[in-house]
Structure 1
Amino acid sequence: MVSKTSARFFHRLSTIFQPISVVPKNAEVKKVDITSRSQRLMLERGIIRQASPGCFHLLPLGVRSLEKLTDLVDTEMRKIGGQKVVLPTLTNSKLWEVSGRLETVSSELFKVRDRHNHGYILSPTCEEAVSSLVASLAPISHKQLPLRLYQITSKFRDEIKPRFGLMRGRQFLMKDMYCFDVDLASALVSYKEICHCYDRIFEKIGINFVKVLGSSGHMGGNLSHEYHYKADVGEDKILSCPKCNYFANVEVSGEQECPKCGNTSVEISSGIEVGHTFLLGEKYTKPLNATYLSGDGKPTVLQMGSYGLGLSRILAAALEVLSSDDEIRWPPFLAPYKVIILPPKGGSKEEIHLKNSNLVQSLYARLEQVDTLKNNVIIDDRINLTIGRRFLEAKKTGYPYIIALGKKITESPSKLEVTNLQTDEQLHLEESALLDYVSPKETCAVDRLAFLRSSTPI
């Protein structure tokens, strides 16, 4: 089987910190605290651990998934000229006074004071901070524009009632991009390009989503779109018109009829907001004096856009949409590991049959050679447990492919049992056929036509 010497080169489940903690469904105290399926499953399967209300420890399997999402976002941001920065978590309160937001969103802000009694905010978003950064260099040359700066950092919001686990917490991981342009026409070009980038990101994640006209709210500006996963637990209400394919948050459209075509047979559904885009204009750049030097040599106020993706929320929302009440289902693109191998139980006739075989190691190595599976294979080496027990746990954790070395490995030809959780197929395959089965390149799970039907164009 897997020797101690060679096993250290493999991903092994026995070395993963995954504290399983089954939450009793009939526990009254838990009914108050746990308010969504994804929250309960992530707690039960050791993906997250609650630290305090609205704050969670993200554990190794969750970190792997979030890192995959972060890598995807980084790749797509670079394609549109995004430059990664890290802005301070603490923002001087005076900047928020200048923009006018200190009072309008005061109740949601974590405010602190230093030893000199200077006020700071734990940033929920960074429009003021990045505008101040650009203003400190102003006026910049028009040749430097558009300037697209983004970061992926923890943000903070003093939620009055944190709920739904990672979907509405006090600390969350967000990708926020800030784009500066010479005029509104150029800013709109940037807006469309970044929205198309968001489309690609959500298509690659592979869950049907809807893009809707959104409210600018306290952020300001004159154009806004939201990205949603439809789910009953969603706190936003989305109006959709099947007649003209108009989609909007009811905050901007009302619930009686379509504002575009007047159709009264509109549909209202619940959505989880996972992304938001804003065309802000001069909302922050003018009061903070962020300017550029135009071609005629005059300082001119920059036009700004702000673009957010809730990465930790996307992770939880994806599980909310795909999972059953008892078992996690990952979008394959974000699964912590895509394949888990279950060797025979120690002392079983199957284990004895493989005593002098390196089947587990060779299978692992050959799977790792598949482009889409590189660094995505793990062995459940807890051979003190039966295959059946480990299989049930693997299903609950949601590994897309479960490969069991069961009774048929003693037959001639030897066959492996593969379970595909995406299709609910269970097949017995020879090793070569198994490799062919898991080798096809990943395709986007989003029905492109369905996507086009369920998105409001810019």
Structure 2
Amino acid sequence: MPSMATLLRPCWPKLLSCLPRTQVNPGRCQSSPVRLDSRVGGLGSACRSPLLVSRLFQPSNLRESKDAALDIRAGEMTCRSQKLMLQGGLIHPSSPGCYCYLPATVRAMEKLVRVIDQEMHAIGGQKLDMPSLCSAELWRRSERWSLMGNELFRLQDRHGAEFCLGPTHEEAVTDLLASQGTLSYRQLPLLLYQVTRKFRDEPKPRFGLLRGREFYMKDMYSFDASEEAAHQTYQAVCQAYDRLFHRLGLRCVKVQADTGNIGGKLSHEFQLPADVGEDTLMICGNCDFSANTETVEPGRTDCPQCHSGVLIESKGIEVGHTFYLGTKYSTIFNATYYNAQNKPVVAEMGCFGLGVTRILAAAIEVLSSEDAIRWPGLLAPYQVCILPPKRGSKAEDVGSLAEDLCCGLEELPNLKGEVVLDDRTQLTIGKRLKDASRLGYPYVIVIGQSAMEEQPQFEVRCQQNEETMFLSKEGLLDLLGQVETV
């Protein structure tokens, strides 16, 4: 199969042939998008104006702690991800435990949801969307209206009917299934999931998106014909979670866990080891046993599974949780299916959660340095940032190549909409490199004088491994043509 560079090589003469005839207007990148149609050879009709850093909404005043004061008062800015996301203009505190997700964060979250959708669809998941406003009557039937205590946000409508803002949706989805009286065993297993905002009245929200009162979660609910089938579904979802975190480059540990107020017979957490984590884990150094300390006998240091390994204590951030519920909810709400003998049978259930916004923050927490964000490659808001020379520098006459390069890279199928041009040419390359590192663009291309040589060379900084390379145009296309995106 020909390389990406071979396939796209015809574009480059069109990109570069116009450069000797192009005069640079030092002021054209200051505030408005540049029209390329009249300038760039045969690519004008196919290219849109480049996406300019000066036009991105990432409020610079968040880079200092003045505007973070509200967040500090809400719960002490004591973790890396909270600091980096505030300083980078990725989130803005609205009230304790609640945030505005700014455009770059929304892009990253949408990418994460696409990856989640891919993995859920691969195991037969079907996406739906249930109301955030949940009837108190359903929660009273499951007896969780009082069990959840102050964690529930409760309210009444003008007629006095009581509701809560859903922290989870076991009652709602089971009632939905129960309303479908003709469900057949041939339709099972049934896996229904959603990605929605959840609400929990945390007594002390902190750590930014790691512990909030309003957040995004993926919650899936399974319905099976037997306990054996439910366990098979349980394992299938756990394996999908393993694949998801592997694709994101996150080393998550699956640990046995308490079922808590969700209930059920079996539960596991997916924990991302981190010093800032609020959960304490016990991990065997000799086998694959790992558990939340809530499920281990206090003071125990020997492994209950292999009996020879020593349990090592670690902190973790919970990013996923799975439950085998059995018939806890389906019995209460009479969620049944008709078996092969046309007899109604109570369905076996499972519940599977992923903290969407928590995964974003946790990934930044464990992958980043103290002053620079590092995203999982698939989730970076933009993959490539191009830096033209500083206005007035000796290399300014090659500044137009940055826009042409931006247009050319957008021709790569995997980079459509993934390239930004840092047009703030009043700033030095060093200052813009620092900003690019802080915001976590995986690839930063610096346009210098070497780009105008007979055999052009482009300086490429790979932020994930902090490697700098000087590549020809073919090498650049080959490198960036292999970047995986969603």
TM-score in same-fold range (> 0.5): yes
Select 1:54's aligned residue among 86, 92, 97.
97
Residue identity opposite 1:90 in structure 2: L
- For the residues of structure 1 that align with 2:259 and 2:317, how far apart are their CA atoms? 17
Find out whether 1:234 has 2:274 as its counterpart. Answer: no
Find out whether 1:68 has 2:111 as its counterpart. Answer: yes
Change (3 A) 1:225 1:400: same
User: Secondary structure of the equivalent of 1:218?
Assistant: coil
Q: CA deviation at 1:8?
A: 5.7
Select 2:363's aligned residue among 296, 315, 318.
318
- In structure 2, the residue matched to 1:354 is 398
Instruction: Tell me whether 150-159 or 221-230 shows the greater mean CA deviation.
Output: 221-230
Select 2:343's aligned residue among 289, 298, 307.
298
- For the residues of structure 2 that align with 1:337 and 1:136, how far apart are their CA atoms? 44
Residues 293-319 of structure 1: per-residue CA shift (max 9 Å, x gap): 122222211111001111000000000
Select 2:305's aligned residue among 247, 260, 269.
260
- In structure 2, the residue matched to 1:23 is 64
Query: CA contact under 8 A between 1:387 and 1:406: conserved in structure 2?
Result: no
Q: CA deviation at 1:139?
A: 4.9
Query: CA contact under 8 A between 2:84 and 2:371: conserved in structure 1?
Result: yes
Query: CA contact under 8 A between 1:47 and 1:62: conserved in structure 2?
Result: yes
- In structure 1, the residue matched to 2:430 is 388
Find out whether 1:202 has 2:245 as its counterpart. Answer: yes
Change (3 A) 1:90 1:24: closer
- For the residues of structure 1 that align with 2:412 and 2:288, how far apart are their CA atoms? 40
Query: CA contact under 8 A between 1:350 and 1:406: conserved in structure 2?
Result: yes
Please identify the structure whose Cα radius of gyration is greater: 2
User: Secondary structure of the equivalent of 1:312?
Assistant: helix
Q: Superposed, which structure 2 residues align to 1:209-224 within 5 Å? A: 209-224=252-267
Find out whether 1:5 has 2:47 as its counterpart. Answer: no
- For the residues of structure 1 that align with 2:254 and 2:478, how far apart are their CA atoms? 36
- For the residues of structure 2 that align with 1:354 and 1:258, how far apart are their CA atoms? 64
Instruction: Tell me whether 158-167 or 189-198 shows the greater mean CA deviation.
Output: 189-198
Select 2:184's aligned residue among 141, 145, 154.
141
Find out whether 1:437 has 2:479 as its counterpart. Answer: yes
- In structure 1, the residue matched to 2:41 is none
Residue identity opposite 2:375 in structure 1: W
- In structure 2, the residue matched to 1:449 is none
Q: CA deviation at 1:428?
A: 2.4
Residue identity opposite 1:22 in structure 2: R
Query: CA contact under 8 A between 1:153 and 1:173: conserved in structure 2?
Result: yes
Residues 241-263 of structure 1: per-residue CA shift (max 9 Å, x gap): 11222111111123522221234
- In structure 1, the residue matched to 2:43 is none
Q: Superposed, which structure 2 residues align to 1:79-90 within 5 Å? A: 79-90=122-133
Residue identity opposite 1:414 in structure 2: P
- For the residues of structure 2 that align with 1:170 and 1:232, how far apart are their CA atoms? 22
Query: CA contact under 8 A between 1:38 and 1:165: conserved in structure 2?
Result: yes
- For the residues of structure 2 that align with 1:218 and 1:24, how far apart are their CA atoms? 38
Residues 381-417 of structure 1: per-residue CA shift (max 9 Å, x gap): 1122221211111111111111111343354533221
- For the residues of structure 2 that align with 1:424 and 1:393, how far apart are their CA atoms? 15
Select 1:153's aligned residue among 191, 196, 199.
196
Query: CA contact under 8 A between 1:274 and 1:314: conserved in structure 2?
Result: yes
Q: TM-score, normalised by structure 2?
A: 0.86
Q: CA deviation at 1:228?
A: 1.1
Query: CA contact under 8 A between 1:330 and 1:398: conserved in structure 2?
Result: yes
Q: CA deviation at 1:173?
A: 0.4
Residue identity opposite 2:432 in structure 1: R
Residues 119-177 of structure 1: per-residue CA shift (max 9 Å, x gap): 10100000000001111113522122111111110000000000111111000000111
Query: CA contact under 8 A between 2:285 and 2:309: conserved in structure 1?
Result: no
- In structure 1, the residue matched to 2:420 is 378
Q: CA deviation at 1:28?
A: 9.2
Q: Superposed, which structure 2 residues align to 1:338-349 within 5 Å? A: 338-349=383-394
Instruction: Tell me whether 419-428 or 256-265 shows the greater mean CA deviation.
Output: 256-265
User: Secondary structure of the equivalent of 2:240?
Assistant: helix
User: Secondary structure of the equivalent of 2:236?
Assistant: helix
- In structure 1, the residue matched to 2:378 is 333
Residue identity opposite 1:12 in structure 2: L
Q: TM-score, normalised by structure 1?
A: 0.91
- In structure 2, the residue matched to 1:427 is 469
User: Secondary structure of the equivalent of 1:333?
Assistant: helix
- For the residues of structure 1 that align with 2:132 and 2:189, how far apart are their CA atoms? 25
- In structure 2, the residue matched to 1:455 is none
User: Secondary structure of the equivalent of 1:296?
Assistant: coil
Q: Which runs of 5+ in 2 are unaligned?
A: 1-23, 37-46
- In structure 2, the residue matched to 1:413 is 455
- For the residues of structure 2 that align with 1:207 and 1:174, how far apart are their CA atoms? 18
Q: CA deviation at 1:98?
A: 0.9
- For the residues of structure 2 that align with 1:409 and 1:194, how far apart are their CA atoms? 49
- In structure 2, the residue matched to 1:45 is 88
User: Secondary structure of the equivalent of 2:197?
Assistant: strand
Residue identity opposite 2:321 in structure 1: H
User: Secondary structure of the equivalent of 1:131?
Assistant: helix
- In structure 2, the residue matched to 1:98 is 141
- In structure 1, the residue matched to 2:173 is 130
Query: CA contact under 8 A between 1:142 and 1:295: conserved in structure 2?
Result: yes
Aligned residues: 439
Query: CA contact under 8 A between 1:139 and 1:299: conserved in structure 2?
Result: no
Q: CA deviation at 1:369?
A: 3.7
Query: CA contact under 8 A between 2:269 and 2:321: conserved in structure 1?
Result: yes
Find out whether 1:164 has 2:204 as its counterpart. Answer: no
Q: Which runs of 5+ in 1 are unaligned?
A: 444-458
Percent identity over paired residues: 47
Query: CA contact under 8 A between 1:368 and 1:375: conserved in structure 2?
Result: yes
- In structure 2, the residue matched to 1:274 is 319
Q: CA deviation at 1:187?
A: 0.8
Query: CA contact under 8 A between 1:112 and 1:120: conserved in structure 2?
Result: yes
Residue identity opposite 2:64 in structure 1: V
- In structure 2, the residue matched to 1:402 is 444
Q: CA deviation at 1:115?
A: 0.8
Residue identity opposite 1:418 in structure 2: V
User: Secondary structure of the equivalent of 2:333?
Assistant: coil
Query: CA contact under 8 A between 2:257 and 2:291: conserved in structure 1?
Result: yes
User: Secondary structure of the equivalent of 1:4?
Assistant: coil
User: Secondary structure of the equivalent of 1:5?
Assistant: coil
